[in-house]
Structure 1
């Protein structure tokens, strides 16, 4: 797939590229030979013609491709914009380990255009990514202590399943779960970073530029020597990835990549101080 085709996908508005299904290059070629309006029998015939050259089992390929394509059309008929992309194009997109898989419905990351998550894990992975960025931001700005409070939404059980990767290069201390309470709120995590002399914005931020309060904390630290901070990590919009979409995908016989974890409107507050 040409790079210009990649650019075409990622430059589209979020609503148009939010949902994708990955197909093999050969399946895409077969699909493109006929438009959605052409009869199913002609589509199968085209698939079988191409499959005789590229696969030892043309009928199996034709039937498998047709089922996936019918699922995509089913979603479109329900008013749900869904794109099919080739395996070549998918290789230029970031997926979790083990992905992409053919026939699975993927959802675009709301802040990083080249990242897609399986439907079932979308909310957990998106919130996890946002929270991790908030912590990395605070560490890079020189935090020597932070404490994460649950305000509403996902709490201790959810946090225990998060895959949080916190770098400790030139920073002492640890990052661990806690069940202590302070001011009536549950403390989910605490972290100490001994001798953290960092004072800069980290690279590859994506959420930061959509969060004015995060920007204010960064400015306060970098320009005015701020010592204490309170940063909120909010996750309030389900982006249409909900039980209704799950039902539509199930009806269309598309895979969702596991057990669906539904959205919860969530806010965690990170408090602490800079060295």
Structure 2
């Protein structure tokens, strides 16, 4: 385990090394670093004693909280899970959800956007939401005039109602009620019309797009060959090791996971529609 190791810039590390972080105060990280330099091979009891010495004259209640947090990170490492301690100053370079970062919360790195971290508890919902939103932004920027989102597997209507997106849920009334399920049995999650949308460009700041060959084919078809109809699939099938096992290990280590844990579901949604 390499706790509190900041010699190499966090965001330049391979994903596996920087996937899990805990944000601490600058003083706490410095105390851990000084301890590591002088007592790298000491036992756990000596570890706590050394940290106490480095934290003085910090108020006792803060020093005790720091020692407990250090114990938590060590405990996680003893379970075979590496987490890096990141100082509050270094965390300014990272994008967190509103209200974060909070000290002692276990954060997980976004798999495609290198500067983004989400709390463990909300990681899967926020990551899938981000991927789906990018797909919609891509289609709108390419000139979509109508989209229909169909559930294929995994998260469905109840999950979609929690998502922070601007697309309204399909209004199942009158004729729409009869078509709320396609002949294939797929449930319609959202529909949207973009009247007068004449956009025809690739948006900037895409992160998922570069890992999705079929999305790239749709963009080429629209930009180079005048494609009029499209079918784009949003897949979220890898839990990235963020699962009940990690949640259990973090809880055992007495780390905060940032809310009620939402587990991964292998999910496929299909977006059908037309370009202008």
Q: Please give the TM-score of this superposition, normalised by the length of structure 2.
A: 0.90
* Mapping 1:155-234, distance limit 5 Å: 155-164=156-165, 166=166, 175-178=167-170, 180-183=180-183, 184-234=185-235
Alpha carbons of structure 1 residues 208 and 155: separation in structure 2 relative to 1, 3 Å: same
Answer whether contact 2:200 2:223 (CA < 8 A) is retained: yes
Answer whether contact 1:151 1:185 (CA < 8 A) is retained: yes
Q: What secondary structure sits across from 1:70 in the alignment?
A: helix
Answer whether contact 1:19 1:106 (CA < 8 A) is retained: yes
Residue matched to 2:104: 103
Residue matched to 1:169: none
Tell me, in whole angstroms, the C-alpha distance in 2 between the residues paired with 1:226 and 1:7: 46
Residue matched to 2:34: 33
Q: Please give the TM-score of this superposition, normalised by the length of structure 1.
A: 0.90
Alpha carbons of structure 1 residues 214 and 7: separation in structure 2 relative to 1, 3 Å: farther
Give the number of equivalent residue pairs: 259
Q: What secondary structure sits across from 1:200 in the alignment?
A: coil
Answer whether contact 1:47 1:61 (CA < 8 A) is retained: no
Residues 158-183 of structure 1: per-residue CA shift (max 9 Å, x gap): 0000001x4xxxxxxxx311252222
Residues 237-266 of structure 1: per-residue CA shift (max 9 Å, x gap): 000000011111011110000000000000
Residues 20-58 of structure 1: per-residue CA shift (max 9 Å, x gap): 0000001011111112532445444444445445x4x2x
Residue matched to 2:16: 15
Tell me, in whole angstroms, the C-alpha distance in 2 between the residues paired with 1:203 and 1:138: 13
Answer whether contact 1:146 1:271 (CA < 8 A) is retained: yes
Residue matched to 2:153: 152
Q: Quick check: 14-23 or 37-46, which moved more?
A: 37-46
Residue matched to 1:267: 268
Tell me, in whole angstroms, the C-alpha distance in 2 between the residues paired with 1:269 and 1:28: 45
Residues 170-206 of structure 1: per-residue CA shift (max 9 Å, x gap): xxxxx31125222221100001001001000111000
Answer whether contact 1:143 1:272 (CA < 8 A) is retained: yes
Answer whether contact 2:157 2:189 (CA < 8 A) is retained: yes
Alpha carbons of structure 1 residues 52 and 71: separation in structure 2 relative to 1, 3 Å: closer
Q: Quick check: 234-243 or 182-191, which moved more?
A: 182-191
Q: Quick check: 213-222 or 63-72, which moved more?
A: 63-72
Structure 2 gaps of 5+ residues are 1-5, 173-179
